[in-house]
Structure 1
Amino acid sequence: MERKSFLKAVALASIAPAVFLIACSDPGKKEAVGDKKQTYTCPMHPQIVQDKPGTCPICGMDLVPFDKSNKDASLTLGESQIKLANITTMAVGAGALANFRQLNGRLATDPENTTIIASRVPGRIEVLFVKETGIRVNKGQPLYKIYSEQLATLQQEYLLALAQAKQFPDDARFQQIEKAARQKLVLYDQGEAQINQLAQSGKTSPYVTYPAPASGIVSELTATEGQYVSEGGAVMRLEGYNQLWVEADVYPAEASLIRVGQSVKVVVSGWEKEPQNMTVRFINPSLQSGSQLLQVRGSIPNPDNRWQPGMQANILLPVKSKGNVLSLPVDAVIRDGKGAHVWIEKERGKFVPRMVKTGMEDFDSVEITEGLKEGEIVVITGAYLLYSEYILKKGADPMASMAGM
């Protein structure tokens, strides 16, 4: 009997701590275990997920909270959000699409807009009104003043011939001599007003100021003040940049794709959103020295002199085209290593991503071969903002959920 009482006492003693622990435990702990844990991700790298705030180990950005249990693939935005993100849409339609081949090229000065300023008389450069390159001059602006003894001699000859012509107005020979002397001054770039002033004053002057015959940028100075120049000696060079040449290289095998008079697109580096139309004016019939390349050439306008000679420019040659294809603006398609997707507006303010397959592409548009139907509403601007918003709210790449589709 005593043995049974002893065993009961031992059993009660062993059970008592467990009962005490259960009684003292937090009754709400069981419920806390079932609570959802807050998770955080990087807006730029959705593969980074952790259960506490911090920074992204890849880019260093602060992690943002997201609800990983939310499986809804759509995004819903209000009217103000749509306007702020500049989200616009269009209905997908069928049309023609051309493909292009890119030719590497560059901008060059158009010789038709280049003016060589040369001295019309031999003499000494007394004053240079423009003393450095890169200065813009306008037509009629004084460029330099020259001292010319030969000009003074021709002026004196004219005054003598003029006096004889006035003294013997009926003598045709003196009239012809006066005209010949006047013509010499004209050939030395003396204007009508200057010759008339000489005739009225009767005084010769060895100095003559020459104006700019055209507007342009001073690209080279070949004379200095005090320097003697011969007749026809170069003083400076002006270049007009309101129109530029586009020179591009093409392999002989590609020469059949281009012809004189053909209209092509030109893309200047830094202005990819502003392609220019150009007509091919010249195709070099011989290969460039030391290479296996032909050169093609055309010209494009240069408004406000925004581009400079030497800048890179590419010519886009249309090589084939398709008709009746579904196409979208290039910016509407988001691409990464998993493929390409677009955003569809199911109803006003509700957007869902969709995987697509792309085909041929030109500078502005891309063909959609799979994933879209004609008439569907697709986001064409603001697609990348939707992509970022999806990552922020869902904590996942929208392409990940569509990879198996």
Structure 2
Amino acid sequence: MNKKKNLILALSVAGILIAAGGGLYWAGMQHGMHAAVPATSGSGAATSGDKVDPATGRKVLYWHDPMVPGQKFDKPGKSPFMDMQLVPVYADEGGDDGKVAISPRVQQNLGIRTAEVKEGSLATALELVGSVAWNERDLYVVQARANGYVERLYVRAPLDRVRKDQALVDIYVPDWVAAQEEYLAARRMSTDLADAARQRMRLAGMTDEQIRQIEKSGKVHPRLTITSPVSGVVAELAVREGMTIMSGAPLYRINGLSTVWVNAEIPEAAAAQVHPGNAVEARTAAWPGMTFQGKVGAILPEINPTTRTLKARIELANPQGRLVPGMFATVSLTPAARKAVLLVPSEAVIQTGTRSVVFVASGEGKFAPVEVEAGSEANGQTEIRSGLSSGQKVVASGQFLVDSEASLKGTIARMGDTGAGNSAKPAAAPTHHGRGRVEKIDPDSITLSHEAIPTLQWGPMTMPFKPPAGGLPRNIAVGNQVTFDIRQTPEGEYQITSITPANRQTGNGDGK
């Protein structure tokens, strides 16, 4: 009887143990299945709620495959795309908010410095360099008014200074002698004849001043003295004593020196800031401590293709004729006052080639990239026309380190996806080259075991790819060694753009 009871008790214990073991096995299988197969949310912004990574104690937003960043998963596990584990994205890394989180200690070590966006004006002085030239509007030409002979020169060399009404040359003009004798004879006969004779002297080329001399003296002047019409410098002398001159021949070219031109070079980028009428101050090494006042007379409509500058014609007052052609001058020009604009340090603006980006500090050690429209630049300040508001903080030092961190996390790319330029066609993804072996061919994929792809920072692995849009070539089969090019699609997958056998067999010369 006792043996029977012991047998029943042993069978009962065995049944309980079997049931418990089966339950534990089923629970383990369920846990393993959940751990091995991640629950995907597609390309949506799946989050993990309050899940915490037990290894680090950090809050996890979601898991993803770095090779296919568009797909997000709410549980850890193995990637369905390739042979690797999913990688967590932590909340303190910025996650999907497009921000980069950097601890204060790291900020201090990297020398990250911020500056406030302020309102101000960029109407600062421009420093230009130019050379002094004649004022071509202050040029006078002295000509022979009749045929004659040069008997005496008073100003005998170019670049001699002359005063207004100073004697230049004595000329003997036979036609003028005859006209004078006729006038003096007519004046003794009648007033009407005198008026006619006076008109003949004028037609012969005599000036009113010369005619008055004849009237006043009452005798013939066979030699007439030509005087300077202005004070200045003899720029050109075309006559010598004893020469025969013809009517209309140039004798002297005289430049006034009361004003001179400075032809200054304006950088193309600053051309919009300079306008005719702008006041200027000029200085020269020849007269240290002196400033010469003037204004912009004209902006010449021509750009020097070598220096990429325009030429400004600046008119300067030239007291006592101190400035002479050929001198170098430094010109300080103050553009017209402009309205207040937003300003940031120029070093805060990162030029990518197609757009301008700054990093805005949003507190708690986080920085967000913002695309801006940059304007003029002066004195280390850059005008911001859109993208920022007054009072914001931007990274002014160490921003390239922040930019590197942002690029690693893909925040710049996300900014481009959500920015104002959504209507623009996105740039094509880059193409990457690889070598590998065909492991499997399916209707909608081809599996390759490929070597490392340095441009993607991928190591050797086996993974599926989308076949080319036109289908696989006929000479591609399982087991082939191939070379291929791939490109990432907007959905985050990688598609083969071209694939060829790595060791293509050549013909034997008989056409077979």
Taking structure 2 as the reference length, the TM-score comes to 0.39
Which of these two proteins has the greater Rg computed from alpha carbons? 2
Taking structure 1 as the reference length, the TM-score comes to 0.48
Which structure has more relative contact order (CA 8 Å, sep 6+)? It is 1
